[in-house]
Amino acid sequence: MPNENRKRGKKHKKTQEHNQPSRDTNEAPQNAEHHNRPSWIVPARELEEPHPEAPFGYVDPDIKAYFRTVDDQIRTWQQERPYEEDQAADLDPNEAKRIFLVAALSEMSEKEKQLATDPDCSVVLERMAHSMDDFVRRVFLDSLSGSYEALIKHRFASHVCQTLFTVAVDSVSRETKGIYPSIPDSKDKGELRTLTRLILDICEELAPVFTSLVMDPFASHVLRALLLLLSPASSAASHKAQSNMRSKKSSAWKARQGTMKSVFADNKSYDHIDPTRSVPNEFREAATRFVRVLKSELSDNEVRALAANKVASPLLQLILEVEADHGESSLPGSLMDHVLVGIITLCHRKPDEQLEASDYLVTLLRDPTSSHLLETMVSRCPDPAFTILWATYFQGKLTRLATHPVANFVVAKAAERLNPTQLKGALEELESSWNKIIGSARTGVLRAMIDRACTLRAHEKDICQAVCNAFQLFQPKDRSHLVSCVLVLKPFQEYLATRLTKCSSEDTQQSSKKGNVNDSKEPKIQGALILQSLLRLNEPHCTMVTESIKSLSTEDLISLSQNPISSRVIDVLFDSETVPFKVKRALVMSLIGHYHTLVDDRIGSRVGDRCWAFADPYLREKVARSLITHEQFLAASYFGKFFARNINLYLLQRRPDEWRELQSQSKPSSGPTISPPAPSATAPMSNPDDDEVSRPSKTSKKRRGRPEDEIDAVFNTNLGAMTKRTAVSAAGSSDKLVVQKPDQGLQDVLGAIRAAPSDDGGRGKRQRKS
């Protein structure tokens, strides 16, 4: 038994070195040495071939340990935690961070490729990339030149390249404006390329192999980031461009890594690329080159095969949008024409010829992966091609497609491009199917047609009738229940049965513990979106929703306003320009006497702020005076106290004229406000010489809770003293000097304090020394 195969713990008294003689007596000395050494010793010559997981070599263990500390420190800074060592040394925090990062970058020099392919260090490079300046990014990208094909196909290095292309957005934008960083003096000879030139060189490096990288599981998302960098307009056109950057598994893994942002700039995030930024003209040509390479190297069937591939389909969507942005999708033989099975070519050659439906596009309609690509083509194809596409694949089949779990999304996307004639035909075709569509909770088609009718300002009456038919509100008197039926997505009769049926207490407790969002009585997001779309219709038609809201009882209205889903309907009611002013005012007045109940909630307090921001000074006074009797209730409420501070009940009771002046200077607005509101949310910007009553006091609660003695009365300039105030006009100019007389009510309080005995034994009262 050879020595290297002995079992652990097995003891042998005699050595077995010469028990098995060599078969070949002329064997080379190195072979004899190979047999005698332990199995765990591997010669260096056997490791000369690179490992697929480490094509550029492994990272030294000491270097990995150092970069783990770098990762911990940068993560601490990115989570906005104070760096205690820098504070103790009285150093500038940004300077300390800069020194730390310079040391890490120095250690990273000439090891960039090994670190990028390491499973642990690649995350550190991603984290550091957000804090690099323009010069360091240029050096980093330049150090990876010539190896991008291998890097973007690597499991870990591909995410490093994706992050570098994402954070390069601002650097390229600055270079486009002629802003370049200062290059430090160095002994190294040579010219450092600009970041714009580096990106173009990377495109030239990847262009020959672009077709093979489209279906690579690791390179596909890097190419998406590169295309968004080259053509930012495509990111504005695609609502899924950013969501397709990473898979669900990769996004979940990145979320566990914490926030990645610059440690120097506050709130700096690169999650969304600005589509309005400026890019060089060379970027447009580079993006067009990728489209032409794919079009020239792939046949029609190969391009169509990419649509059903889970890796290539998101990239193909972005390529089609780039082609549409550059005006090449309307040409015969384009990629759009390949995927649409020659519809664009037919529009140019035989526009009047009837097209037969292709089994390929019919399959795309119902496939979970390729249906996303069909949504892109429906929204970006030329108008003549869309007309043929709608007449061939949608018209006459809407009853089945609108209720299909996948195809209904494509129909909803196609409804956004319908003309008035097509919209009229679609409504007539779906007239008998709305009830089935609502029953399946697939309301995207209905909402898309409401939005399209709102955009075209056509067939709005037919849309309202379709909504009433969908929820079986055939009688005019039944339409008062429209809001309640639509929110829960139940027909009228089923809603009444559900409302009359009371759930048992055990079922209620069980659903509340499990957080059952499918409760039949809970508002649905789809229903709230339908109501929001209806409120944007013209006045004769949007009143159908407002009249239903008006018919709700006060308890139901408060319940609707305190729900995070249904409260959005109230927000749109105030924001919509088509809702009459008197309807908004009536809603605010209907809650008078119940605002203390409304604002005693996290969501309800926000709705109360919207009502207060909309109201005029006269209506605000009515609301505020109705809350005087509930002042203690609001003070004890966690959310209501902010609303009470916003309306300034104390000033209304003590100085109503001044309160009215403040409210008259603040203009009513239907825009959103932030809760808890600031004390100056409704008050204008005050002059520094104003009295303390008109601005929030900084006195502690304990100090405000005890009465003032004579010393306080003497030194308090606001009580019983003649104060000089500058009257601030609405334009903000101070024209004259106003002498304010002492308030009589405050004089009475001061007289009561002076009449109080001086030997009162109250806690904390200061005694005058003789």
Q: Which helix (H) or strand (E) holds 740?
A: strand 734-740
Q: Give residue-wise pLDDT tens across range 21-35.
A: 444 444 444 444 445
DSSP-assigned beta bridge partners for residue 723: 740
Confidence tier at 765 by pLDDT (50, 70, 90): very low
The average pLDDT across 647-676 equals 76
What residue ranges do the domains of the chain occupy? 61-180+191-265+272-282, 705-755
What are 51's strand-pairing partners? Answer: 54
CA distances 454 to 56, 429, 725, 731, Å, are 59, 20, 52, 39
Average pLDDT over residues 283-295: 93
pLDDT at 94: 80
More confident residue, 251 or 421: 421
pLDDT for 578 beyond 70: yes
* pLDDT tens for each residue of 141-173: 999 999 999 999 999 999 999 999 999 988 998
Q: What tens digit of pLDDT does each residue of 327-385 get?
A: 889 899 999 999 999 999 998 888 778 788 899 999 999 999 999 999 999 999 999 99
The H or E element spanning position 69 is helix 61-78
* pLDDT given at position 557: 95
Alpha helices in 394-519 (DSSP H): 398-401, 407-415, 420-429, 434-439, 444-456, 460-470, 482-488, 492-500, 505-514
pLDDT at position 265: 61
- pLDDT exceeds 70 at position 544: yes
pTM over 0.85: no
- Of the candidates 156, 166, 296, which has an alpha carbon nearest to the alpha carbon of residue 241? 166
- Pairwise CA distance, residues 48 & 67, whole Å: 26
Q: Share the mean pLDDT of the chain.
A: 78
Confidence of residue 182 (pLDDT cuts 50, 70, 90): confident
Separation between Cα atoms, residue 383 and residue 389, nearest integer Å: 10
- Residue among 498, 500, 405, 392 at smallest CA distance from 445: 405
Task: Tell me the average pLDDT across 250-268.
Answer: 70
Q: pLDDT band at 612, cuts 50/70/90? A: very high
How confident is the model over 42-93, as pLDDT tens digits?
555 444 566 777 888 899 999 999 999 998 888 888 776 444 444 444 456 7
> How high is the pLDDT of residue 40?
56
Average the pLDDT over 396-411 and give the result.
Answer: 94
Whole-number pLDDT of residue 43: 55
DSSP labels, 659-696: HHHHHHHSPP--S---SSPPTTSSSPPPPTTS-GGGS-
pLDDT band at 194 (very low <50, low <70, confident <90, very high): very high
